[in-house]
Structure 1
Amino acid sequence: MSLFKHGRYSGYLRPISYLIDLSIINGFAIFYFFKNIDPIIFITFTTISWITLSVYSKFYEVYRYTREVKIFSLTFRQMVIFTLIIFSFSGYYYNLNIYPNTIFKYIIAVFLSITFVKFAIYYLLQKYRVSFGGNFRKTVIFGANKKTHALENFFNKNPEYGYVHSKTFSLEQKKDIDLEPYFQYIIDEYVDEIYCSISELSNKQIDEISDFADNNLKILKFLPDNKEIYSKKLKYEYYDYIPIISLRNIPLEDSFNMVVKRMFDILFSSLVIIFILSWLTPIIAILIKLESKGPVFFKQSRNGFNYKEFDCYKFRSMTPNKDAHLYQATRGDQRITKIGKLIRKTSIDELPQFFNVLFGDMSVVGPRPHMVSHTNMYAKRVDKFMVRHFVKPGITGLAQVSGFRGEIETDKDIIGRVKYDIFYIENWSLLLDLKIITQTFVNAVKGEDKAY
């Protein structure tokens, strides 16, 4: 199992920063504005404005390698635009007589407080990494030259950034060298991030390392030079003055996007549980019990986010059997009951998974989770299969509404599913989720050939 495990880091820092900053913004408003303004109107206006502005200005995109001058410039730019927003509010509600002098005092107080908090969090995290060794990422580098030595020195001389450099692999005979021992070292030492000098690697080796990183949930980054990297999405970052390229950009690694998706999941799953499952479950339970003995719900171990196993719930659609955890349902499967055929055809059997969504094991939309035995099999047979575990699994997904739901009859089915899942992971948006949910509902009403 350890082959596929991958360290993850706190996704709560950015949401916490949002809450602190919004508390400061609305807290100071109590002293300056709330005598004349309805607090609900002001808090709603400033909260929506601040979040929208922050997303577009990338105000909270501060990483462990971000320099202090960059943090200050982000804060200053944010405050200038936020000042204009507050002035527009005072202009719209001109009858409240909010004077410019009051606005400037308010903005200065907010600006100083948010700047202090932002730098305090930044330095406290650095202190935490140096003194306690927490929040760290283990690294290796492929290739030895001036650029990689500079990166290695950056890791070793700046422990406050939280990188623990494990090893630099020199690839002098790059055409003949076997990378397997290096890959095994990365697995054995639980390395989190792989950095590659493109000039030291052949195209074949770049492909091998990319495939290894994808299939083992490792973060892969490159030191750029005059060679080309063929990829749809390239993200440039700077470690001090060293340029670094990320080969795959995953929107759901952004904390704000994670919070948006989680809030949507909680809201949507709660509505389904309250307005559908609350009355439908007793009816389905009676029908299941009348036809066959056994539990109403079926529980099965599946692999989810970061390859973690969880119990996936469904309405039982088969007669109890010992092979349920090993073999998928097939066309004409004798294990499926009469009521089972109906609820599988309409996807009603999947509805209890909204409890999985509410518990946080799944999302409404995402790559469909597989049985543990199937995950282990496909991880070895299908290239980049493990990339699907960079995000939470879903009740429905892009692959499912694109013709790749249900039984996997040939390798073409699972390869197509992985292709659509990776596209979803790299191009996630809330609008894409809504489109997939709508298409899923339409397919359920129309009925699908592979829904059996």
Structure 2
Amino acid sequence: MGNGFVRNNINQFAVVYRFVDFLIIQLTLLAACSVFGVAIDVHYHLLGLIGSTTYLLSAELFWIYRSWRAGTSKELLFYTVVSWVVSAVIVLIYLFLTKTSEDYSRIAVVSWLFVAPLFLCAWRMAMRAFLYQVRAKGYNSRSVAIIGMNENAVALANELKRNPQTGFLLRGVYDDRELNRLAIPDGMTVEGNINDAVEAVQNGEFDQVFITLPMTANKRIEQVLHRLGDTNAEVHFVPNFFMYNMVHSRLCNVGNLQTISVFDTPMRGATTAIKRAEDIFLALCILTVIAIPMLIIAAAVKLTSKGPIIFKQNRYGVDGKKIKVWKFRSMTVTEDGDKVTQATKGDARITKVGAFLRRTSLDELPQFINVLQGSMSVVGPRPHAVAHNEIYRKTVKYYMLRHRIKPGITGWAQVNGWRGETDTVEKMQMRVQYDLEYIRNWSLWLDFKIVLFTFVKGFVGKNVY
């Protein structure tokens, strides 16, 4: 099982992906020109070069050329299309700025821009299906051993089982303790002690070893690592503190000292620019559509009750800094002090128009202006009133970690049913749990799913008053 023919050629294989992508982009442009009888000259060669170069760069930015063993097909296709959209936009900007669009056949260029991503996606799915078949026959796989039978090992084994497409095959779990002292779940067995595991690795029976011993057993871990250092197996240490609520952890360096960031933010470097570009694009598109409905709502609010049209409330933004969140006023009061009472069913403070706006979340529409201002995102943890923050940060574990990124108009908690009134600590705990899950797993693909789910089921909720 250790003879997977791609195992030691991951980098070279990624080079093949890049080359095929480059070839597809060039050939689809040539094919489009050929179909419509367009003579290919230096202008088309330059356009093809711009398209392929910008695609390869954007694909690198979205990590398309990493290993997709554990990634989903939908996610891979999504990032392939996004990378091509970025490339297409650059091509169109080039044509606009250089005023050379008249030098090209519009139908040929447009056909190329639509056909190229279809072939880029198709060849990836074909290659993915091929690799699945290869792994099903035992090739391109890794034989895995786990040292340490505990909660960490069970969680790791379950992940390997849930993701067979990774090609990681769990062949044995090892522990020095007596079997009657171990909590062994159904479907798992302990093959022997740690010495048996080391000997098996030395005999070439395993490609990868995961050490899940608790960090308190540091001496034993050091001994195991010393012995495994004399083998060719890849060795991974899975510390037990990863079982706790870590938020976007990553390796860091302080001089020559390596550290692990426990509570961090995914918004760094290029991801910050990607998230901001996403926010601006979505906010502008949505505001264009809802501009007239917002004017109608504003008139309805003004004509049916006394008070301002827009209610601006202090809330915590990224890093716990206060921001002013905009909403259509839906109540006869505008509470924003040390004590803010959440709306409840049949609340007398809610106006008739406000009740409709709150049930349908239309009162949140002005927050797209907050997004353009940069204080909010379209997708992120919902911001709470400052008074509520001060209450829940003392009662809900890890509550303030939800402020590691900008608050959003919609979020992972909302599309999973945790929106509206939080009249119990348990409800807020569930909301925070989903918020932290979003931060840990943030990606452009996850934002896309949340926006899609919001349109399907996220505007209304049984706990929204």
- Give the TM-score, by structure 2 length: 0.50
Q: How far 1:39 moved relative to its partner?
A: 5.0
Please report the RMSD computed on the Cα atoms of aligned residues, expressed in angstroms. 3.1
Query: 1:200/1:299 Cα in 2 relative to 1: closer, same or farther (>3 Å)?
Result: farther
Alignment partner of 2:367 out of 345, 353, 358: 353
Alignment partner of 1:430 out of 436, 444, 457: 444
Task: Provide the residue aligned with 1:366 in structure 2.
Answer: 380
Bigger radius of gyration: 2
Query: 1:311/1:200 Cα in 2 relative to 1: closer, same or farther (>3 Å)?
Result: farther
Are 1:283 and 2:290 an aligned pair? no
Task: Provide the residue aligned with 1:298 in structure 2.
Answer: 311
Alignment partner of 1:392: what SS? coil
Alignment partner of 2:394: what SS? helix
Report 1:250-269 matches (<5 A).
250=265, 252-269=266-283
Distance 2:286 2:301 in 1: 21
Say whether the 8 Å CA contact 2:419–2:461 is kept in structure 1: no
Say whether the 8 Å CA contact 1:199–1:227 is kept in structure 2: no
Task: Provide the residue aligned with 1:43 in structure 2.
Answer: 50
Q: Which moved more, 1:419-428 or 1:41-50?
A: 41-50
Distance 2:386 2:437 in 1: 23
Q: How far 1:256 moved relative to its partner?
A: 1.4
Distance 2:238 2:400 in 1: 30
Alignment partner of 1:244 out of 259, 262, 273: 259
Query: 1:286/1:229 Cα in 2 relative to 1: closer, same or farther (>3 Å)?
Result: closer
Report 1:146-295 matches (<5 A).
228-231=240-243, 235-237=250-252, 242-248=257-263, 250=265, 252-276=266-290, 278-295=291-308
Alignment partner of 2:393: what SS? helix
Alignment partner of 1:53 out of 57, 60, 70: 60
Query: 1:58/1:49 Cα in 2 relative to 1: closer, same or farther (>3 Å)?
Result: closer
Identity, % of aligned pairs? 41
Deviation string for 1:201-243 (max 9, x for gaps)?
9xxxxxxxxxxxxxxxxxxxxxx99974333776445556544
Distance 1:317 1:416 in 2: 26
Are 1:375 and 2:389 an aligned pair? yes
Q: How far 1:299 moved relative to its partner?
A: 0.8
Q: How far 1:53 moved relative to its partner?
A: 2.6
Q: Which amino acid aligns with 1:265?
A: D
Say whether the 8 Å CA contact 2:294–2:365 is kept in structure 1: no
Task: Provide the residue aligned with 2:418 in structure 1.
Answer: 404
Q: Which amino acid aligns with 2:405?
A: V
Report 1:323-342 matches (<5 A).
326-342=340-356
Distance 2:412 2:255 in 1: 39
Say whether the 8 Å CA contact 2:336–2:385 is kept in structure 1: no
Distance 2:335 2:250 in 1: 48
Q: How far 1:43 moved relative to its partner?
A: 3.0
Gaps of 5+ in 2: 1-40, 67-214, 219-235
**Alignment size in residue pairs:** 256
Q: Which amino acid aligns with 1:281?
A: M
Deviation string for 1:416-451 (max 9, x for gaps)?
111111110000111211211222222256x32112
Say whether the 8 Å CA contact 1:305–1:391 is kept in structure 2: yes
Query: 1:53/1:227 Cα in 2 relative to 1: closer, same or farther (>3 Å)?
Result: closer
Q: How far 1:326 moved relative to its partner?
A: 1.5
Distance 1:367 1:235 in 2: 21
Distance 2:454 2:255 in 1: 46
Alignment partner of 1:307 out of 312, 320, 339: 320
Distance 1:396 1:423 in 2: 14
Query: 1:337/1:245 Cα in 2 relative to 1: closer, same or farther (>3 Å)?
Result: same
- Give the TM-score, by structure 1 length: 0.51
Q: How far 1:345 moved relative to its partner?
A: 1.0
Say whether the 8 Å CA contact 1:346–1:444 is kept in structure 2: no
Alignment partner of 1:449: what SS? coil
Task: Provide the residue aligned with 1:320 in structure 2.
Answer: 333
Distance 1:226 1:451 in 2: 42
Q: How far 1:311 moved relative to its partner?
A: 0.6
Distance 2:336 2:278 in 1: 35
Gaps of 5+ in 1: 1-33, 60-197, 202-223
Are 1:417 and 2:424 an aligned pair? no
Deviation string for 1:265-293 (max 9, x for gaps)?
101111111121x2012211221122111
Say whether the 8 Å CA contact 2:59–2:65 is kept in structure 1: no
Query: 1:53/1:286 Cα in 2 relative to 1: closer, same or farther (>3 Å)?
Result: closer
Deviation string for 1:120-152 (max 9, x for gaps)?
xxxxxxxxxxxxxxxxxxxxxxxxxxxxxxxxx
Alignment partner of 1:381: what SS? coil
Alignment partner of 1:253: what SS? coil
